[in-house]
Amino acid sequence: MSSIQKPQRIRGTQDMIGETAARFDHVVAVFERVRRLYGFQPVQVPVFEATSVFSRSLGETTDVVAKEMYTFDDRGGDSLTLRPEFTAGIARAYVSEGWQQWSPLKLAAWGPLFRYERPQKGRFRQFHQLDAEIIGAGEPAADVELLTFAAQLLNELGVDEAVTLHLNTLGDAETREAWRVALVDHFRRHQGELSEESLDRLERNPLRILDSKDPRDRPIADAAPEIDAYLTAEGGRFFETVTRGLDAAGVLWTRASRLVRGLDYYRHTAFEFITERLGAQGTVLGGGRYDGLIETLGGPHTPAVGWAAGIERLAMLIDAPEAERIEVAVVPMGEAAEVAAQKILADLRRVGVAADMAFRGNMKKRMQKADASGARYAVIIGEDELARGEAALKDLADGTQRAVALDGLAEAVRG
């Protein structure tokens, strides 16, 4: 017996194969198709950045920065962090790579992100997101475009009926500051009744108290002043333009006046697409307008709006995609046929026909594997067939079989 200890998967990560991998790939494939329809260009940014990129953009006091980031010093002594989200890295690239010359930019990305948190249903320490950003457009039409993209993505994934768009406005800078002052005043009057976490947030990030799930906080948060009482005329017009655009585009939404984004650079539109089919982890896609972020990274004032969606969570909501199947299984008999089969496989694949061949086994076993693969046809070839320059093409659905010239196989299986 071997004494070598088998390596184990790291907690909070996942190995995907079969239906799990197929669901994941289907979500990505639909995202890629829809982003092309909307003219969002693909973008790639590094998996790790200087830690300051995330501490500046997410805020030193946020839970992500304080508790959840995978941060390490490299051999040169620089502090690096595995990305916990996409937006900061894309904003950094916009500043450092001179992407301002192409503004406004419509960008789309997907890939792995990393957060050290307690793994649970639909949440991992290495997880994956879809991401869409419009950078350099301050018009409400950009918000409508982004939300319509999200709605069509969910529709084409077949989960739109299970998901509701919750929409709010954070107003302009004047609105947000006035509302923040009113909220702090309200929460201070009740600070003896707040949870320990909300007391901490009261000092660092008071808007986040509105998000609290603690039952001690809910009556106080529910009684807090709403933003509409502080909304400036400009902020009101912006939100009205967004909602009218969504109505015109046929995107259903519901007002969620308590929906917030805690960081100061968020403005105007905030939104979440929420489902009740995943238990407590109800948000499958969320985002908002972040007009002040790029300034925090040393760039010029640049309006922007974006969203992110968890691939794993979306994959849990969709119907299982049909299993991938090959069209043709090649069944060779004899050494010469094995060699000829390699040419047949290559020729079929080069013209777009999915084909495969078992590496071993007699004819009976190979035919059994052909049936099990779900292939439509079996191409059977032996010494006699080779001598005649043909193969036996068997329809695995009805069992009929006919001889086909080797150079006519592709046409025969497509016809």
d(CA 415, CA 412): 5
Nearest to 131 by CA among 328, 287, 348: 287
Is 129 labelled as part of a ligand binding site?
yes
Concatenated DSSP letters of 220-279: HHHTSPPGGGG--HHHHHHHHHHHHHHHHHT---EE-TT----STT-EEEEEEEEESTTT
Q: What is the DSSP letter of 112?
A: E
Is 383 labelled as part of a ligand binding site?
no
Is 87 labelled as part of a ligand binding site?
yes
With b for 16 or more beta-carbon neighbours within 10 A and e for fewer, the 35-49 pattern comes to: beebebeebebeebb
Q: What is the DSSP letter of 77?
A: S
Is 327 labelled as part of a ligand binding site?
no
Residue 334 near residue 382, CB atoms below 8 Å: yes
Residue 163 near residue 263, CB atoms below 8 Å: no
Given its phi and psi angles, is residue 256 left (phi above 0), alpha (psi -120 to 50 degrees) or beta? beta
Phi then psi for 243, rounded to 5 degrees? Answer: -65, -40
**Residue owning tokens 């969709």:** 318
Is 133 labelled as part of a ligand binding site?
yes
Is 116 labelled as part of a ligand binding site?
no
Nearest to 131 by CA among 354, 305, 334: 305
Is 41 labelled as part of a ligand binding site?
no
The answer to whether the Cα torsion of 125, 130, 135, 137 is positive or negative is negative
Is 290 labelled as part of a ligand binding site?
no
d(CA 12, CA 249): 39
Nearest to 289 by CA among 388, 157, 142, 74: 142
Is 216 labelled as part of a ligand binding site?
no
Q: What is the DSSP letter of 379?
A: E
d(CA 130, CA 354): 29
d(CA 216, CA 218): 6
Enumerate the known binding-site residues for L-histidine: 85-87, 115, 129, 133, 261, 265-266
Enumerate the known binding-site residues: 85-87, 115, 129, 133, 261, 265-266
